[in-house]
Structure 1
Amino acid sequence: MSLFFLALHAVAVLLVVLLVVLLVVLLVALLGFCVYLKYVHMKYDHIPGPPRERTEAYGSVYRINVLHHVRVYTTSPEATKEILMSPKYPKDHVLYGRMFSLFGQRFVGNGLVLARDHKLGYKQRRIIDPPFSSLYLRSMMGTFNERAEGLSTKLSDIADRKGEADVLPMMNFVTLDVIAKVAFGMDFEQENTWFFPKAIETCLKGTLISVRSTFFQLYPKNWAFVKEVREACKLLRSTGAQWIHNRKVAMESGADVPKDILTQIIKAASKEESMTKEDQEVMLDNFVTFFIAGQETTANQLAFCIMELARHPDILDKAKEEVDDVIGMKRDISYDDLGKLVYLSQVLKETLRLYPTAPGTSRDLPNDIIIDGVHVPAGAGIVFSSYMCGRMAKFFKDPLEFNPERFHPDAPKPYYCYFPFSLGPRSCIGKNLAEMEAKVVMAKILQRFDFTLTPDQSFDILDVGTLRPKGGVVCSIRHRKDRA
């Protein structure tokens, strides 16, 4: 019996020793991390670090420390030009790495937007570029008109009963419908796809949390939402897998298929000697990427545009007058008509100046650099905010005033301080599509409807990774009196 107690005592002593050793190791690791943290912070301490809202007071370069990660923000046009226009600077491994997957479930992976390596990004861009050519987009004018006409029908129903509506969800649906047809040849009116907008919104919320809160999923109270995000990711990717399979079958059978993004992705994959599991995943990465990027941002731009036009009746009247002159009572807007809607283009650009729906981008800094006289050591993430630049008085006079004349064809062009679609070799491939779509939808709305904001309309902005009107945009919708 005494031997038993001796053995038990020995085990207890061993456990205590192991616990002490473990605590010492953890303490040493913690101290080591603190020393490393101090080293990183000292490396960048010469760069000022302001509260986020006070960028103008701290100059064109400042830093924010997030544990051992340092974010250097700059509003310098020269640095913006140097870094964004060059392939030498890869996308920020911290920020973009967090969007590869959400809480362990693959999300946009190595798709075109997130591919950090320039060669991989360039390869994907070259593959996907044909559906974004002006020739292809011209051929899709019928789709733009058709989808915008569907939105007009819904607005007309509201106007008939002299009702009110939040236009943000309506913009979400029409842009989702357009990207589905233009990029993937799918018709949401005929597909059971009611779940898509909700899944996209859930994933965007999850993305923002994943980027900003490292330990979010460790807390039990958050597990239900974490599960919801994972399921939304799975849903988007499984839907993509089914659509890709269906298109492959159609192509192999010799059916006539559209020359859209989906076809290009499959054709490029078929040229590979062998398709790996990762190749299959990248196809799904791009499926999800284009749905998110092609739907969410344009919908928010349209909602913000309606909000600002409703706040500025003189600008609204001028935009309607131009639409009347160019389009009149025509049902279908032509590609040539778009080029004549000059003032409407100015309105849409001014909307993106104040509300860049993709508010910024960031790059890794592989080498030391001097920005406006400030030495920035290698290893930092460099952040460029179109939102901040667009609201700075040194770039735009009376920056908070909504003034489309800033973008008059004869006005001076903003010098590397306006980049809602980013810049350089990694700029948004869908820029032309987004601009055409937004112009067709807004022209149709201005052609037929008057809208006024409800008295309690909020003008707050919600950041969910993209910027959107926090309370939606609730309007009274009426048929235009002069068209009655």
Structure 2
Amino acid sequence: MTVAEWTAYLTFYMICAVFIAFVGYCLYVRHIHVKYDHIPGPPRDNFLLGHLPTFRRETNSDRILNDVFLEWTEKYGSVYRINGFHSVSLVVSCPETTKEILMSPKYSKDPFVYKGLFTLFGLRFLGNGLVTAMDHDVWYKQCRIMDPAFSSSYLRGLMETFNERAECLMQHLEEIAEEDTIANMHRLVNCVTLDVICKVAFGVDLDLLKNPDSPFPKAIELCLQGMLHYFRDPFFRFLPWNKTKVQEIQDAVKLLRTTGAKWINQRRKAVENGEDVPKDILSQILKTAEELKDDGEEDYELMLDNFVTFFCGGRRTTTNQLSFAIMELGRHPEILKRAKEEVGDVLGTRHDIHYDDLGKLTYLTQVLKETLRMYPTAPGTSRWLHEDMVISGFKIPAGCSIHFSSYITSRMEKFFKNPLKFDPERFHPNASKPYFCYFPFALGPRSCLGQTFSQMEAKVVLAKFLQRFDFSLVPGQSFDIKDSGTLRPKSGVLCTIKHSV
């Protein structure tokens, strides 16, 4: 038999093998459909792709995917399925199930979501850090080591930094007021919150308001975009016209991990030289690797995992929450007036905000909580179902992920009357509290470790802003939401700023 004949036979058998494998995979997908199709859900766009074309279409449009999920919840009920290839996810808005699953440590995080963040377009990204650690015991050990950096006594000590960085913003806003120019509040607040996390977590001064060309804000934004494309468009990386964007995202990941390596090595040397170092997040990251020793190289990678986790996640909630809060206060003069009056009553003419002042700013707290109800910057979380269970009367087979969305439940009439109305009175101390349908920081043992840190910082910045300035929203801008991995104001909240009378 000639070489050409052998090649023809080999090609034929390879085609047959690929065809058989494809048919086998299609049969498996069909089996998954049969297994879960008793659960209601929207029609699939495609047999193999399931609902992924919808996700891709919405991601590439001006609409946010969470609104699609909300519409599907109202149409299909408190539990419905979405498909993608051979995987099934359930979107659940039942408070009882939310409580049962999120409050229990026995339900692990969704492996597709969190293992997917181990790398980003082929480069190690969040790895096995605090957010992505799948094993509960591994996560718990890391969490306990990190606790001192989020203790009440340590957070009290951060008030000086919160005040100092917020003052930098106030000085910048004074210049804007005097020059009568437009302030992009989202961009300015983003600079401050990133400055804060770098200072209090890693002991580094970036001073982004004076150094607007720093590559870090852009790098974080690119990483968030990369996460969005990873989850909603599995083919994004392989399309030739996305090559430049993929390279930019990979470069952003490299920058963050290289920066982490540099700052970690500087802190290590300081410790070795017997220098006084703070009990900040960076010190706890070093301690984590020390106490979870396994392999030297992996220890170092784990430190970088946690560095990137806190660097990316430590400012997004505060930035977006403050931006949305300023937007809504600008749209509701009566709420703004009441918030300014409370700040005036608590602070008077004193610019330095003390820790004890934060508890007295009760209405401002209500404003910030209502902001997170309408605009949860990290809108959802997911868990893996290891065993069969019944949800809202439907028997759910094990082996699927369950998605919980604070965005969905917070915008449902059955849980919040007139849900699209911005009303801080929902969170009055004497108001009835929502039952497991408001969870902007998730719930249970895997809830956000930095939520108290975030809300302290938000109060300091917002109180100083309301104390010192009057503002109005620039007419004609959009008040829509932009989904860029987290939810943020689409137009950036453009304001004209004036000194308070």
**TM-score interval for Structure 1 and Structure 2 normalised by the shorter chain:** over 0.9
In the alignment, what sits opposite 1:259? Answer: 279
Deviation of residue 272 (structure 1)?
A: 5.3
Q: Does 1:13 align with 2:5?
A: yes
In the alignment, what sits opposite 2:118? Answer: 100
Seq. identity, %:
59
Amino acid at match of 1:292: C
2:411 and 2:151 map into 1 onto residues whose CA distance is 32
In the alignment, what sits opposite 1:285? Answer: 305
2:176 and 2:203 map into 1 onto residues whose CA distance is 29
In the alignment, what sits opposite 2:106? Answer: 88
Task: Provide Cα deviations, 1:101-156, integer angstroms capped at 9, x if missing partner.
Answer: 11101111111011111111111100111110110000110000000000101111
2:94 to 51, 76, 84: 76
1:375 and 1:166 map into 2 onto residues whose CA distance is 49
2:164 to 143, 146, 152: 146
Tell me: CA distance 1:251–1:329, structure 2 relative to 1, closer, same or farther (3 Å): same
In the alignment, what sits opposite 2:17? Answer: 25
Q: Does 1:248 align with 2:238?
A: no
Amino acid at match of 1:479: H
Tell me the secondary structure at the aligned position of residue 472 of structure 1.
coil
Q: Does 1:216 align with 2:236?
A: yes
In the alignment, what sits opposite 1:443? Answer: 463
In the alignment, what sits opposite 1:342? Answer: 362
Amino acid at match of 1:159: A
In the alignment, what sits opposite 1:296? Answer: 316
1:291 and 1:457 map into 2 onto residues whose CA distance is 30
In the alignment, what sits opposite 1:57? Answer: 75
Tell me the secondary structure at the aligned position of residue 54 of structure 1.
helix
In the alignment, what sits opposite 2:214? Answer: 194
1:458 to 464, 473, 478: 478
Q: Do 1:99 and 1:211's aligned partners in 2 also have CA atoms closer than 8 Å?
A: no
2:326 and 2:476 map into 1 onto residues whose CA distance is 16
In the alignment, what sits opposite 1:182? Answer: 200
Please provide the CA RMSD for this pair.
1.4
In the alignment, what sits opposite 2:30? Answer: 38
1:380 to 378, 397, 400: 400
Tell me: CA distance 1:226–1:135, structure 2 relative to 1, closer, same or farther (3 Å): same
1:360 and 1:126 map into 2 onto residues whose CA distance is 24
In the alignment, what sits opposite 1:422? Answer: 442
Deviation of residue 90 (structure 1)?
A: 0.7
Deviation of residue 271 (structure 1)?
A: 4.1
Deviation of residue 273 (structure 1)?
A: 5.6
Q: Which has the larger radius of gyration?
A: 1
Amino acid at match of 1:108: L
Tell me: CA distance 1:49–1:271, structure 2 relative to 1, closer, same or farther (3 Å): closer
2:228 and 2:131 map into 1 onto residues whose CA distance is 16
Q: Does 1:227 align with 2:269?
A: no
Q: Does 1:269 align with 2:269?
A: no
Amino acid at match of 1:336: D
1:347 and 1:39 map into 2 onto residues whose CA distance is 49
1:447 and 1:139 map into 2 onto residues whose CA distance is 23
Tell me the secondary structure at the aligned position of residue 383 of structure 2.
strand
Q: Does 1:133 align with 2:139?
A: no
Q: Do 1:269 and 1:275's aligned partners in 2 also have CA atoms closer than 8 Å?
A: no
1:418 and 1:182 map into 2 onto residues whose CA distance is 29
Q: Do 2:127 and 2:305's aligned partners in 1 also have CA atoms closer than 8 Å?
A: yes
Q: Does 1:361 align with 2:353?
A: no
Tell me the secondary structure at the aligned position of residue 55 of structure 1.
helix
Task: Provide Cα deviations, 1:344-394, integer angstroms capped at 9, x if missing partner.
Answer: 000000000000000100011100111111111101110000100110000
Count of matched residue positions in the alignment of Structure 1 and Structure 2: 473
Amino acid at match of 1:152: M
Tell me the secondary structure at the aligned position of residue 412 of structure 1.
coil
Task: Provide Cα deviations, 1:59-103, integer angstroms capped at 9, x if missing partner.
Answer: 100011111110100000011001001111111011112211111
Q: Do 2:96 and 2:436's aligned partners in 1 also have CA atoms closer than 8 Å?
A: yes
Amino acid at match of 2:90: V
Deviation of residue 189 (structure 1)?
A: 2.8
Tell me the secondary structure at the aligned position of residue 362 of structure 1.
strand
In the alignment, what sits opposite 1:3? Answer: none
2:397 and 2:423 map into 1 onto residues whose CA distance is 39
2:479 and 2:288 map into 1 onto residues whose CA distance is 45
**Where in structure 2 are there 5+ consecutive unaligned residues?**
43-67
Q: Does 1:123 align with 2:148?
A: no
Q: Do 1:93 and 1:116's aligned partners in 2 also have CA atoms closer than 8 Å?
A: yes
Deviation of residue 268 (structure 1)?
A: 3.4
Tell me: CA distance 1:114–1:271, structure 2 relative to 1, closer, same or farther (3 Å): closer
1:308 and 1:209 map into 2 onto residues whose CA distance is 29
Deviation of residue 275 (structure 1)?
A: 4.8
1:428 and 1:189 map into 2 onto residues whose CA distance is 26
**Where in structure 1 are there 5+ consecutive unaligned residues?**
1-6
Amino acid at match of 1:61: V
Deviation of residue 54 (structure 1)?
A: 2.9
1:211 and 1:132 map into 2 onto residues whose CA distance is 30
Amino acid at match of 1:416: F
2:294 and 2:268 map into 1 onto residues whose CA distance is 16
Tell me: CA distance 1:327–1:240, structure 2 relative to 1, closer, same or farther (3 Å): same
2:128 to 98, 104, 110: 110
Mean Cα deviation higher: 99-108 or 184-193: 184-193
Q: Does 1:156 align with 2:148?
A: no
2:421 and 2:85 map into 1 onto residues whose CA distance is 37
Q: Do 1:85 and 1:423's aligned partners in 2 also have CA atoms closer than 8 Å?
A: yes
1:424 and 1:198 map into 2 onto residues whose CA distance is 32
1:38 and 1:292 map into 2 onto residues whose CA distance is 39
Q: Do 2:293 and 2:299's aligned partners in 1 also have CA atoms closer than 8 Å?
A: no
Deviation of residue 314 (structure 1)?
A: 0.3
Q: Do 2:285 and 2:307's aligned partners in 1 also have CA atoms closer than 8 Å?
A: no
In the alignment, what sits opposite 2:420? Answer: 400
